[in-house]
Amino acid sequence: MNVFENKKGKIILLKMVKTIQENKVYLGDLDGLIGDGDHGMNMNKGFSLFEKRYCKNDFSFTDGLKNLGMLLMNEIGGSMGPIYGTVFIGMAEAGENLETISLEDFSKILEAGYNGLMEIVEARAGDKTLVDTLFPTLKSLKTDVVLGVDFVVALDKMKAAAKQGSESTKDMVARYGRSSRLGERSRGVLDTGSVSCYLILAAMADGIKEILKEL
Amino acid sequence: MNVFENKKGKIILLKMVKTIQENKVYLGDLDGLIGDGDHGMNMNKGFSLFEKRYCKNDFSFTDGLKNLGMLLMNEIGGSMGPIYGTVFIGMAEAGENLETISLEDFSKILEAGYNGLMEIVEARAGDKTLVDTLFPTLKSLKTDVVLGVDFVVALDKMKAAAKQGSESTKDMVARYGRSSRLGERSRGVLDTGSVSCYLILAAMADGIKEILKEL
Amino acid sequence: MVQRILNDPDNIVDEMISGFLKTHKDIVEATENNRVIKAKNIPKDKVGIITGGGSGHKPAFIGYVGKNMCDAVAVGEVFSSPTAMAFLDAAKAVDQKKGVACLYGNYSGDNMNVKMAIKMAIKQGITIKSVIANDDVASAPKNQREKRRGVAGEILMWKIGGAKAAQGGNLDEVIAAAQKAIDSTRSVGIGLSPCTLPAAGHPNFEIKPGMMEMGIGHHGEPGMEICSLKTAKEIAEKMINIVIPDYPFKEQDEVVVLVSGLGATPVMELYVLYNEIEKLIKTKNIIIYKAYVGNYFTSLEMKGATLTIMKLDQELKKLIDMPAYTMGLKQK
Amino acid sequence: MVQRILNDPDNIVDEMISGFLKTHKDIVEATENNRVIKAKNIPKDKVGIITGGGSGHKPAFIGYVGKNMCDAVAVGEVFSSPTAMAFLDAAKAVDQKKGVACLYGNYSGDNMNVKMAIKMAIKQGITIKSVIANDDVASAPKNQREKRRGVAGEILMWKIGGAKAAQGGNLDEVIAAAQKAIDSTRSVGIGLSPCTLPAAGHPNFEIKPGMMEMGIGHHGEPGMEICSLKTAKEIAEKMINIVIPDYPFKEQDEVVVLVSGLGATPVMELYVLYNEIEKLIKTKNIIIYKAYVGNYFTSLEMKGATLTIMKLDQELKKLIDMPAYTMGLKQK
Ligand SMILES: Nc1ncnc2c1ncn2[C@@H]1O[C@H](COP(=O)(O)OP(=O)(O)O)[C@@H](O)[C@H]1O
Ligand SMILES: Nc1ncnc2c1ncn2[C@@H]1O[C@H](COP(=O)(O)OP(=O)(O)O)[C@@H](O)[C@H]1O
Ligand SMILES: [Mg+2]
Ligand SMILES: [Mg+2]
Ligand SMILES: [Mg+2]
Ligand SMILES: [Mg+2]
């Protein structure tokens, strides 16, 4: 199949929650290297609270994103509240009227999230933030839409792009956020936000693939 | 010879200073085990200050004791200020009119110091304090006076008595001072004050022996 | 295993707030938002002063709520910005239609959340203006002052802004005074040992015994230089040499000096450090008008200290002298 | 290598005093004895209140010199009693021929030095009477109360004694009030990590990670029990179960609760602990009239906390409510 049903999307959110929970310590340690060490903890707190509050019931992909985004924004704060809050709410709003979601739809949904983020942060690709994950991921999706690539294949390529994007932060010097004050000392270490963003996007891709496979 | 000249006594005080300086860390560590760890530091501060202030010039045994005692009492404080201050000042006052000091004189001098201490502390032999060093040392001296033992021999016996007295505190339960609150937990560790007292008395004996030998 | 007194690290902030409210009943009270604390008996018809920030900096931030300082504070997780909602609710709790001054520190989370709160406030008819503290010299070069972090200088900013509002200043005057305060303020921090986030099981970073970190941030953000541990005198010199030329403070300037511990440095050592700092400042013929020494802005149980200097003019002098009554700063 | 800000450990006390005097010019001043600090502007014709003790407990002891608390303090080396001379000079500095109350803690060094000071004072025509704080329940069984250490309860004793003197009480009244205060007070401490004397290079004792020491003294004197580290709730229960039955505090009693950190425990955790303590005390129908939470009586950079409870009667209530203005305790 080349579309998935929005209302089946809970599994995607569950995968996102799980990957954050499993990587809580890793993300915190990464943040400790050039930041303040709270990234894993905060992400875990937000995503776990989402799980606790919403995952007893079923929900669609976009409703899940909306609730997760609102929760991060309104209850978690930090940098991740507004950042992932904006991304997820932007994605949710772009897709909430869709019953089925195609590769093109998904690409547009992610683009909406990305555009929302661009309104609130100054960081751009190359600044050693999660933008370095988000931007190439979106680019990969958009290219594959144009090329008419199969959804599952596009999702695998998207994962690879996200991973590569995240890894590209290693050689960068931070220009925004807490580690930006380090200058050259920030080089050589992955940006923790780019890693959590990769994990989330990979979980999203895997979740969608699972729904696509079911059919 | 069976007497030493009071005015040659500086060497005795120098030996006392040296043994405290050399055992500063050891005494502090012992105090740390069942007390608050400051014994070595405070003793060293007092004795070193005495050295700095008085040891450029010559002085007699009893003048040295007096100045050291006053300095401890008036400038060091802690428990050791009043305790050793009282002992040394008491000894100095008992001997200050003597030009030469015999075994009997020395025994009386130490007894005066001991009696002064008994007026200000309630601890008696068996309470795991420096009294457990001082008391048997004095007893050994007094016995040897009665027995008419040679001064040098008596000094060696006194050293042995002091050492044994100090070691006897190991199996005691503290009843006075900081460690008294420990009850049974204070058993098995030497009392730091009894050790510094042994070191001081041994240095005193060695110093006197050295003057006696010179003659 | 971290040597801590806590129940569930995930609840530490809420439990801390609960204990704080119970202790300081005479100074603060709860609001409907459990992450917003406000002052008791806020005088009528004045500009509201709010701030907010991550937890773990006690007395900051809630310790500066009270008479002539902050009226309400938004409380975040440990080392994390409060939510936009909390900033908004703090503003709502103290708004008296005279406007609200949000005086906070330059961290990207706080920046984003405050910006969002301001947007939401506008929709609700509340005017929030903000001043962003950026006193930490070590965190960016002078030509990028807008990137510098806010550290203990925030306390002086709150003191000045709060006093101006108490005097009856309007929103623009309060904002101008707070902005002047922070523009006249420079800070630097040194770290001697790391801190451990309650939810993490191990220190956030490492400072090797015998070493110290110059220019460390008060979340343990790495500094400018790792060097061998110096004497108090040498540390004072290093700190002074970073702070003084940056503003620069000059002969005959009258200044406030604030030396804050980062949590676990015995207060005794802070006085030893201040003793050296005072001597150096005197040598430069700079006049210390007032000094604060103590644990004013901490970083959990980090060892280390920050030095903050603020240049005074006539207005700032009057404002710094106004009484204050908060958990963290009481002054007649 | 100890992570400290200092020059020469042998001078740390003198340098600390120097820094303290420079910082708190409005509250304290030097005396001829450089180990004695006195309050500024001591009101005329009142009983003098003095205390003294070892250094390393900031704010104690010099932090409690000032309005309505102590008039002068004798300062000792780190963890060591001040000299008899310093106690005497403190008394002389504040004697107004109304007598001097020396309110201090039960440690053998302090006992000896105060006793000697009192003897010397008599010769000089000064009357000193003393109250010896012994609030630390863990340090001896109840039938040997005279052996117990004085800990954070001393602060309440100074508060009460100082207030009584400020009210114009004569020496016997001041002594009686301070004695009542300490007789109505019980404390206990827990230790989570050790402290290191500045002149020693290594911690004074050991507390293994994952363990805690119940009943520790605030020089790190070993406690009653070493047990595994508990949650804040369980720690509060343990502390309450030691302190409450000893006095014993009963239903409807009105009490002051003081939770002090030992130096390096983040203040955040003290509020978490107090939050639990408050709940437990409430369950027992004991009424908390006032609470103090913070680093009031520390032990260098030890991690841990002390709990102190004082039963109030009408007189003590009035006295505890009197204003105070010292570095360590400011109260309207
Ligand atoms: N101004 C910003 N623009 C874009 N991304 C940012 C910005 N500030 C922080 N980030 C991202 O957030 C991550 C850190 O998140 P987190 O640790 O949760 O927040 P904080 O830095 O406030 O402690 C960084 O790794 C980076 O990817
Ligand atoms: N009340 C006392 N009576 C006799 N000896 C005492 C008493 N108190 C302390 N001591 C002696 O002092 C020693 C400790 O000295 P020190 O560590 O310098 O003082 P402090 O205990 O005040 O820290 C103990 O080992 C003991 O021998
Ligand atoms: Mg972070
Ligand atoms: Mg000792
Ligand atoms: Mg953070
Ligand atoms: Mg001591």
pLDDT digits (tens, 9 = 90+) for C118-141: 999 999 999 999 999 999 999 989
Instruction: Beginning with the edge strand found earlier in the chain, give each strand of the sheet holding D330-331 in spatial order.
Output: D66-67, D324-326, D330-331
Q: Which pLDDT does position B1 carry in this prediction? A: 65
Q: Which residues line ligand 1 (CB under 6 A)?
A: A 31, 35-36, 38-39, 42, 78-80, 83, 121, 123, 129-131, 176-178, 191-194; C 80, 107-109
| D272/C19 CB distance under 8 A | yes
Over residues B125-142, mean pLDDT: 96
CA distance C56 to C83: 16
Asked if residue D319 is part of any domain, the answer here is: no
Would you call C289 exposed, middle or buried from its count of C-beta atoms within 10 A (0-12, 13-18, 19+)? middle
**Distance between D107 CA and the closest CA of chain B, angstroms:** 7
**Distance between C160 CA and the closest CA of chain A, angstroms:** 27
Over residues C29-56, mean pLDDT: 98
Type of residue at C16: M
Asked if residue D329 is part of any domain, the answer here is: no
Would you call A146 exposed, middle or buried from its count of C-beta atoms within 10 A (0-12, 13-18, 19+)? exposed
Which residue in the set B80, B178, B185 is minimally distant from D107, CB to CB?
Answer: B178
- For residue D71, the domain's CATH number is 3.40.50.10440
pLDDT band for C206, please (50, 70, 90 cuts).
Answer: confident
| A79/C112 CB distance under 8 A | yes
Beta carbons within 10 angstroms of residue D153's beta carbon: 29
pLDDT at B157 exceeding the cut of 80 = yes
Asked if residue D331 is part of any domain, the answer here is: no
- Where in the sequence is the domain holding D199, given as residue range(s)? 185-312
Q: Chains B, C in contact: 3+ Cβ pairs under 8 A? A: no
Over residues D185-210, mean pLDDT: 90
Percentage above 70 pLDDT, chain C: 100
**C60 and C206 share one domain:** no
pLDDT at C234 exceeding the cut of 70 = yes
Dihedral pair phi/psi, residue B47, rounded to 5°:
-70, -35
CA distance B176 to B124: 9
Which residue's CA is the nearest one to ligand 1's atom 18? A39
Strand partners, C311: C255
CA distance C84 to C109: 10
Per-position DSSP letters for A73-88, written without gaps between them? IIII-TTHHHHHHHHH
**D23 and D171 share one domain:** yes
* Chain C contact present for D189, CB below 8 A: no
3 state DSSP class of D247: coil
How many angstroms does the Cα of residue B128 sit away from the middle of ligand 2?
10
- DSSP 8-state class, residue D70: B
**Distance between C207 CA and the closest CA of chain D, angstroms:** 10
CA dihedral defined by C64, C66, C68, C71, rounded to 10 degrees?
A: 90
CA distance A152 to B51: 86
CA C195 to chain centre: 18
| C200/A185 CB distance under 8 A | no
* Complex-level ipTM: 0.93
**D249 and D215 share one domain:** yes
Q: C7 to chain D: which residues are within 8 Å by CB?
A: 231-233, 272, 276
Would you call D289 exposed, middle or buried from its count of C-beta atoms within 10 A (0-12, 13-18, 19+)? middle
**C159 and C242 share one domain:** no
Per-position DSSP letters for A66-127, written without gaps between them? HHHHHHIIIII-TTHHHHHHHHHHHHHHHHTT-SEEEHHHHHHHHHHHHHHHHHH----TTS
**Distance between C108 CA and the closest CA of chain D, angstroms:** 24
Name the average pLDDT for chain D: 96
B-D CB pairs within 8 A amount to 112
Chains that touch D (3 or more CB pairs under 8 A): B, C
pLDDT digits (tens, 9 = 90+) for D251-296: 999 999 999 999 999 999 999 999 999 999 999 999 999 999 999 9
Q: Chains D, B in contact: 3+ Cβ pairs under 8 A? A: yes
Q: Using N-to-C axis directions, what is the helix angle for B151-168 and B103-120, rounded to 10°?
A: 30
**Which of B191, B197, B151 minimizes the C-alpha distance to B172?**
B191
Q: Which pLDDT does position C221 carry in this prediction? A: 85
How many angstroms does the Cα of residue A79 sit away from the middle of ligand 1?
5
Let me know how many helices (H) and strands (E) chain C has, helices first. 8, 15
Q: C148 to chain A: which residues are within 8 Å by CB?
A: 181
Percentage above 90 pLDDT, chain C: 92
**D168 and D111 share one domain:** yes
CA distance A159 to A11: 17
Q: The tokens of A67 are what? A: 């609730």
- For residue D228, the domain's CATH number is 3.30.1180.20
Considering only the top CATH level, what class is B3-214?
mainly alpha
How many angstroms does the Cα of residue D80 sit away from the middle of ligand 2?
10
Show me where the domains of chain B are located. 3-214
pLDDT tens per residue, chain A (215 residues)? 699 999 999 999 999 999 999 999 999 999 988 888 899 999 999 999 999 999 999 999 999 999 999 999 999 999 999 999 999 999 999 999 999 999 999 999 999 999 999 999 989 999 999 999 999 999 999 999 999 999 999 999 999 999 999 999 999 988 776 666 677 778 899 999 999 999 999 999 999 999 999 86
**D25 and D172 share one domain:** yes
**C53 and C175 share one domain:** yes
**Which of D6, D308, D2, D11 minimizes the C-alpha distance to D160?**
D308
Which residue in the set B32, B82, B179 is minimally distant from D205, CB to CB?
Answer: B32
Over residues D67-72, mean pLDDT: 98
Q: What's this model's pTM, rounded to 2 decimal places?
A: 0.94
pLDDT band for B34, please (50, 70, 90 cuts).
Answer: confident
Percentage above 90 pLDDT, chain D: 92
| A34/C77 CB distance under 8 A | no
Smallest-distance ligand from the CA of A32? 3
CA distance B179 to D221: 7
Q: Which pLDDT does position D77 carry in this prediction? A: 94
Q: Which pLDDT does position A177 carry in this prediction? A: 64
pLDDT at D55 exceeding the cut of 90 = yes
Query: Which residue out of B38, B80, B175, B184 would a mutagenesis test of the D interface target, given it has the greatest number of D Cβ atoms within 10 Å?
Result: B38
Which range (A130-139, C278-287, D76-85, D220-229) has the least confidence? Answer: D220-229
Q: The tokens of B118 are what? A: 């008994």
**D162 and D19 share one domain:** yes
**D204 and D60 share one domain:** no
Q: Which pLDDT does position A139 carry in this prediction? A: 98
**Which of A51, A97, A90 minimizes the C-alpha distance to A73?**
A90
Active site residue D219: yes
Type of residue at A46: G
Which residue's CA is the nearest one to ligand 2's atom 14? B193
Q: Which pLDDT does position A1 carry in this prediction? A: 65
Per the CB < 8 A criterion, the answer to whether D70 and D50 are in contact is yes
Q: Which pLDDT does position C176 carry in this prediction? A: 98
Per the CB < 8 A criterion, the answer to whether D220 and B36 are in contact is yes
Smallest-distance ligand from the CA of D111? 2
pLDDT digits (tens, 9 = 90+) for B105-114: 999 999 999 9
Q: Which pLDDT does position A186 carry in this prediction? A: 80
pLDDT band for B215, please (50, 70, 90 cuts).
Answer: low
Pocket test for ligand 2, best of B79, B80, B124, B131 (most atoms within 8 A of CB): B79
Q: Which pLDDT does position C243 carry in this prediction? A: 98
Q: Which pLDDT does position B178 carry in this prediction? A: 64
Which residue in the set D76, D115, D140 is minimally distant from B77, CB to CB?
Answer: D76
Strand partners, D325: D67, D330
**D144 and D205 share one domain:** no
pLDDT at D221 exceeding the cut of 90 = no
pLDDT digits (tens, 9 = 90+) for D91-116: 999 999 999 999 999 999 999 999 99
Q: B40 to chain D: which residues are within 8 Å by CB?
A: 200
Active site residue C24: no
pLDDT band for C203, please (50, 70, 90 cuts).
Answer: confident
Q: The tokens of A156 are what? A: 């695998």
Name the average pLDDT for chain B: 94
Q: Chains A, B in contact: 3+ Cβ pairs under 8 A? A: no
**D167 and D65 share one domain:** yes
**D166 and D237 share one domain:** no
